[in-house]
Amino acid sequence: MVGGVKLDRVLVYGLGRSGRGAARFLAREGTQGEWLDARPAPEDLALMEELGWERGDAARPYRTVVAAPGVPIDHPDLTALRAAGAEVIGEVALAARLRPALPMVGVTGTAGKGSTTVLIAHLLRACGLNAREGGNIDPPLLDVVDTAQVAVVELSSFQLERVPGVRLPVAVITNLGVDHIDRHGTVGAYHAAKLNITAAQEAGDVLIVPADLTVPTRARLQPFTPARLALADGTPVMDAAALPDGIHPANAAAALLAAEALLRHLGRPVDAAVLASALGTAAPVKGRFETVARVGGVRFIEDSIATRTLAVQAALERAAPPVAWLVGGRDKGADLAPLRTAAAGRVALVVAFGEDGEALARGLGLPYRVVPGDTGDESMDRAVQAGLDALEGAGTVLLAPIGTSFDQFRDYRERGDSFRRAAQALAARSGGHG
């Protein structure tokens, strides 16, 4: 029995971080489920054994399938399960359905959704609410639903494919760019998944969108949702240099609007002074435009997750020039034209590393230097040194790589950790500080 709703014949399809969170949540509530994963990791198998859950079978009948975001919504197994009568949902729909009293703020976008999610939760905590972030960002949402007064949920397009009936009193779209075409097929389908964040909103709910959202996109939204549109304009919020690392002014504006809207939804007072003070004390999200070391007047900024054009562009615009820009990894077809514009007059040198670093640098049309390396750490050590050498005692060595990490690293976190170690070792040798 979960939240007054009896669950039986439940299959958790796809383990990993999200699936493990769903299984732990269901097991805590006394639901005995089954699991299915084509390539379970050792920690997945250990948890399933601990819970006493058996491996399922897509040919069996189930009432509910909780599918991990990494499983395509049109996966043959999910299609077969639906055809056999199963409802396929994700962790967010499970949380909303079985913990209906928990207010949730949803955040999506092509770039900036993680830092905006964390910032909203920080602002709400400053106002006296026990707000917890989760979802696409650590931890899984279902790990926090029973300890939070408010959940602030980062929502990927994958998660938003499986949120039937999830009403969010406050929703945020940070921006709409181009990403995950390999999964969604077209930009239109990708944007349609993102817009599911407002699909179940009602009159009186709030949908926050960027002030510079194109008129055609805004026109598509108005008949799509009865929610009140609120425009986030970063210009008057605060001078960009005064914001904590990793927080773009437009996202700060969106976070302030979201916090205010949620407080009003709960019937709580809105204290602008408290919110403004909290904005200035927000901590950066690890690995998202974070200063990790300094040598003299040179800052080393890690933004390893910046592989989408919008995210890289934001990093370039925020980094103090002159910039030594570390670019590399495996090219995933990013649009380089906006990056050439953002880099003009700001980037002193592109330092190219990894599998497609040189090709990306050539495509940018900027001065560049290629650094070799048989391993990821070796490449990063040389790239960091080359970045510092390109600057004359002031500026920014910026890791905003454009390419994915999978050529030399396990994931963007490992790549970011490598940059961090290299920068801090260089700072130590140079008498700088981390």
Distance, CA of 44 to CA of 70 (rounded, Å): 15
d(Cα 210, Cα 240) in Å, to the nearest integer? 16
Task: For residue 100, count CB atoms less than 10 angstroms from its CB and return exposed for 0-12, middle for 13-18, buried for 19 or more.
Answer: exposed
CB contact at 8 A, 305 and 115: no
Token pair in block for residue 219 = 């026109």
Cα-Cα-Cα-Cα dihedral sign, residues 198, 213, 291, 243: negative
The separation between CA 370 and the C-alpha centre of its own chain, rounded to angstroms, equals: 30
Distance in angstroms (rounded) separating the CA atoms of residues 251 and 174: 6
Instruction: Look up residue 5 and give its DSSP letter.
Output: B
Question: What would the two tokens of residue 383 be?
Answer: 């790239």
Element (H, E) at 151: strand 150-154
Phi, psi at 81, each rounded to 5°: -65, -40
Task: Work out the number of other CB atoms within 10 angstroms of the CB of residue 399.
Answer: 34
Name beta bridge partners: 301: 291, 398
Residue 74 CB-half CA count within 13 A: 3
Which residue numbers belong to the known binding site for ATP? 109-115
Q: Is the separation of the CB atoms in 383 and 326 below 8 Å?
A: yes
Paired tokens of 227: 């929610």
Percent helix, strand, coil in the chain, to 5, is: 40, 20, 40
Parallel/antiparallel/unpaired status of strands 394-402 and 206-210: unpaired
Tokens of 402: 């454009």
Residues 246-283 as b/e (b if ≥16 CB within 10 A, e otherwise) read: bbbbbbbbbbbbbbbbbbebeeeeeeeeebeebbeebe
Question: Known binding site: residues?
Answer: 109-115
Measured torsion, CA atoms of residues 230, 236, 239, 240, in degrees rounded to the nearest 10: 20
Q: What are 80's two structure tokens?
A: 């077969």
**Which parts of 171-235 fold into alpha helices (H)?**
181-184, 187-195, 215-224
Q: Where are the beta strands (DSSP E) in 368-431?
A: 368-370, 394-402
